[in-house]
Chain A
Amino acid sequence: MKLYDGGKIITGLVIFVGLMLSPFILGMAKPGEKPDPKTDTPEIQEMEEKDRKCVEPKEFMRTSHMVFIDSWRDQALRDGDRVYENSEGKEIDISLQNTCMKCHSNKKKFCDECHNYMAVKPYCWDCHIVPEEKEGGV
């Protein structure tokens, strides 16, 4: 069996496979720095030890915050219910800007740290206002 235009086909295949694999090859070369989000903002530091926790447990927030704040949005906007009752029965104002970011006033070291690592670009900050960064956290 003869392969017509074999040279061209094989060259083309090599280029194609090379292009497809390039992200992996380039990624192997320089492993990204492991993200290390900081929760040491002045606002959090000032809190009493027992109050120093998020609206829901840390593990849940870490894995599901995107779904969670999505449901916050729908509850506040669609149902007009702007108060969230958390798993401990505590009532919390639903607001990214005025609840979440009041404690996590370090968007760069908190949000961006992982988002950049994961290369996700949520468009929250196109509208919601980022707290003024206090240099260096603590």
Chain B
Amino acid sequence: MDRRQFLKMAGLTSLISLGGFTTVELIRPGLLDASEPPAAAPGVKRLAMVIDVSKFRSEAAYKKSIEACHKIHNVPDFRNPKDEIKWLWTEKYENTFPGTEHPFVKDSVKEKPFLLMCNHCQYPPCVRVCPTKATYKREFDGLVAMDYHRCIGCRFCMAACPYGARSFNWRDPREVLKDERLDREFPTRTKGVVEKCNFCVERLAKDLIPACVEAQEGTGAMFFGDIDDPGSEVREVLRTNYTLRRKPGLGTQPNAYYIIGGV
């Protein structure tokens, strides 16, 4: 083969491999199909959370949900930001919805804490980048779940998540999860794996609602349910309130909605 032939070959191969359609099909299967969105199959759900920030009346209200979550899931508290692990936490408006803040935002909104968690995106970047399918999308209920047994701790998902929802076990969580801090019904994690909010998958299996939602029972601050079901409570809440999602422009289709109207 002489040089000219080689260059021809090289050009041809790259043309084939870079063929636009093939590339798009590989990255986002089905994106180019000009079809209607498929009707939801029976039993298939898309679980979503709606948070009405105005119904959180005090610091203690947030704490109630966060502590309920962290307690039953054995989320360790190392009391230092470097080793920090969190599933559910609060941020200010400007940190929750960056790019939407301006100097004249209503004071009460500016200072109001927002409850943050994994958004269980419909198109989750963390799932896309995981090299072992340790993080995966449950197609039957929309949860972004994790198999901690399989995680190799490469932290690609942490770089990929645009919501900062993921934490890494920089050290053994058992160092601080002892005695009364340990919930014996749920596992801990081991050092070297990533973790995040699981929408209380273990409670859903027992027909319970997520612990953070349960902690707000009666206040109307949090709603949880199937967003694909037009008759569900979350759909009713979304129909009657103006809601925001975090970073909608990234195309991840997050499944956590925020009502800020009454703040």
Binding site for B on A (CB under 8 A): 73, 77-78, 80, 82, 97-98, 123, 126-129, 131
Contacts and interface: CB of A to CB of B under 8 A. Distances in A.
Interface residues of B, number: 19
Nearest to B140: A80
Given A77-B145, A78-B147, A80-B141, A98 B189 contact: no
Contacts of A129: 182, 184, 187-188
Contacts of A128: 187
Contacts of A77: 145, 147
Contacts of B253: none
Nearest to A98: B185
A55 B201 CA distance: 24
B205 to A, nearest CB: 4
B149 interface: yes
B33 to A, nearest CB: 26
Nearest to A129: B184
A73 B149 CA distance: 9
Please give me the 10 A-B residue pairs with the lowest Cβ-Cβ distance, nearest first: A126-B190, A127-B187, A82-B205, A128-B187, A77-B147, A127-B190, A129-B184, A127-B188, A80-B138, A127-B189
Contacts of A131: 184
B136, B189, B205: which has the most chain A beta carbons within 10 Å?
Answer: B205
Mostly, the B contact residues are loop
A82, A97, A127, A131: which has the most chain B beta carbons within 10 Å?
Answer: A127
Given A77-B147, A97-B184, 10 more contacts: A73-B147, A73-B149, A78-B136, A80-B141, A80-B205, A97-B185, A123-B190, A127-B188, A127-B189, A128-B187
23 contacts: A73-B147, A73-B149, A77-B147, A78-B136, A78-B147, A80-B138, A80-B140, A80-B141, A80-B143, A80-B201, A80-B205, A97-B184, A97-B186, A97-B187, A98-B185, A123-B190, A126-B190, A127-B187, A127-B189, A128-B187, A129-B182, A129-B184, A129-B188
B123 interface: no
A97, A123, A126: which has the most chain B beta carbons within 10 Å?
Answer: A126
Interface string B178-203: 00001011111110000000000100
A66 to B, nearest CB: 13
B148 interface: yes
Contacts of B143: 80
A127 B141 contact: no
A82 B189 CA distance: 20
A38 B136 CA distance: 38
A49 B190 CA distance: 38
Nearest to B202: A82
B169 to A, nearest CB: 10
Contacts of A82: 205
A26 to B, nearest CB: 32
Contacts of B138: 80
Interface in B141-172: 141, 143, 145, 147-149
A123 B141 CA distance: 30
A80 B205 CA distance: 8
A126 B172 CA distance: 9
Nearest to B136: A78
A98 B202 CA distance: 12
A78 B147 CA distance: 8
A123 B187 CA distance: 13
Contacts of A78: 136, 147
